[in-house]
Amino acid sequence: MFRNLGELVLLFTATVRALPRVWRERRKVGEQLFDIGNASLFMACLLSLFIGGVLSLQVGPVLVERGLGSALGGLVALSMCKELAPVMMSVLIAGRIGSAMAAELGSMRVYQEIDALRTLNINPIHYLVLPRVVAIAVALPCLVIFSNLVGWLGGALVAAHNDRIAVPWTAFFTNLQQQVEFGDIANGLIKSFVFAVLVGVVSCHQGLSTLGGPRGIGRSVTKAVVNSFVLILIMDYVLTRLLLPFDDGWTV
Amino acid sequence: MAASLTTTGIPVSVRGLRKSFGGHPVLKGLDLEVRAGEIFALMGPSGSGKSVFLRHLIGLEKPDEGDIQVAGEPISSEGIGDRFRLAMVFQSGGLLNSLTVAENVGLYLSEHRLKPAADIEKIVLEKLALVELGPEDAGKYPSELSGGMKKRVAIARALVIEPQLILFDEPTSELDPLVALTIGREILNLNQRIGATTVVVTHDRDLAFGIADRIAFLLEGEIVALGTPDEIRAHPHPLLQRFLKAEFR
- pLDDT, tens digit, for every residue of A135-177? 999 999 999 999 999 999 999 999 999 999 999 999 999 999 9
pLDDT tens readout for residues B218-234 = 988 899 999 999 999 98
> For residue A106, is pLDDT > 70?
yes
Q: From the CA of A156, how many Å to the nearest CA of chain B?
A: 44
Check residue A250 and give its pLDDT.
42
> Under an 8 A CB cutoff, do B161 and A117 touch?
no
**Residues of chain B contacting residue A107, judged by C-beta atoms under 8 Å apart:** 97
> For residue B1, is pLDDT > 80?
no
Q: Model's pTM, two decimal places?
A: 0.86
pLDDT tens readout for residues B39-77 = 999 998 888 899 999 999 999 999 999 999 998 888 888
> For residue A249, is pLDDT > 60?
no
Q: Which domains does chain B have, with CATH numbers?
A: 10-85+165-174+197-249 (3.40.50.300)
Closest partner residue to A116 among B81, B86, B94, by Cβ? B94
Count residue pairs from A and B with Cβ separation < 8 A: 50
Q: From CA A34, how far away is CA A199, in angstroms rounded?
A: 17
Check residue B183 and give its pLDDT.
84
Check residue B3 and give its pLDDT.
38
Mean pLDDT of B186-207: 89
Which candidate, A60, A32, A86, A12, places its Cα nearest to that of A159? A60
Residues of B with CB under 8 A from a CB of A: 55, 58-60, 81-82, 86-88, 90-92, 94-97, 107-108, 111-112, 154, 157, 161
Most B CBs within 10 Å, among A113, A132, A211, to test the B interface? A113
φ, ψ (nearest 5 deg) of residue B224: -100, -15
- The shares of helix, strand and coil residues in chain B, as percent rounded to the nearest 5, are 40, 25, 35
For residue B205, the tally of other CB atoms under 10 A from its CB is: 16
> Under an 8 A CB cutoff, do B161 and A113 touch?
no
Mean pLDDT of A221-239: 96
pLDDT tens readout for residues B21-48 = 988 999 999 999 999 999 999 998 888 8
Kindly report the average pLDDT of chain B as a whole number: 89
Q: Does ipTM surpass 0.95 in this model?
A: no
A146's CB contacts (< 8 A; 6+ apart) are A41, A44, A45, A48
Mean pLDDT of A181-210: 95
Kindly report the average pLDDT of chain A as a whole number: 93
* pLDDT tier, A209 (very low <50, low <70, confident <90, very high otherwise): very high
pLDDT tens readout for residues A214-225 = 899 999 999 999
Q: Is the Cβ of A10 closer than 8 Å to some Cβ of chain B?
A: no
A67 class by beta-carbon count within 10 Å (0-12 exposed, 13-18 middle, 19+ buried): exposed
In degrees to the nearest 10, what's the CA dihedral of A221, A209, B107, B80?
170
Highest mean pLDDT among A97-106, B63-72, B156-165: A97-106
Q: From the CA of A27, how many Å to the nearest CA of chain B?
A: 12
- Give A 49-108 residues with CB within 8 A of chain B: 107-108
**Residues of chain B contacting residue A121, judged by C-beta atoms under 8 Å apart:** 81-82, 86, 108, 112
> For residue A198, is pLDDT > 60?
yes
Check residue B76 and give its pLDDT.
83
Would you say A102 and A197 are in contact if contact means Cβ atoms under 8 Å apart? no
- DSSP H/E element including A215: helix A214-243
Strand partners for A137:
none
* pLDDT tier, A248 (very low <50, low <70, confident <90, very high otherwise): low
Higher pLDDT, B82 or B211: B211
Share above pLDDT 90 across residues of chain B, in percent, rounded to a whole number: 57
Closest partner residue to B94 among A115, A122, A127, by Cβ? A115
pLDDT tens readout for residues B88-117 = 999 888 999 999 999 999 999 999 999 999
Strand extents, DSSP E, chain B:
12-21, 24-34, 39-43, 65-70, 73-74, 86-89, 165-169, 197-202, 214-219, 222-227
φ, ψ (nearest 5 deg) of residue B222: -130, 145
Q: From CA B10, how far away is CA A127, in angstroms rounded?
A: 28
A63's CB contacts (< 8 A; 6+ apart) are A69, A71, A72, A75
> Under an 8 A CB cutoff, do B58 and A121 touch?
no
**Residues of chain A contacting residue B107, judged by C-beta atoms under 8 Å apart:** 120, 122
Mean pLDDT of B153-180: 88
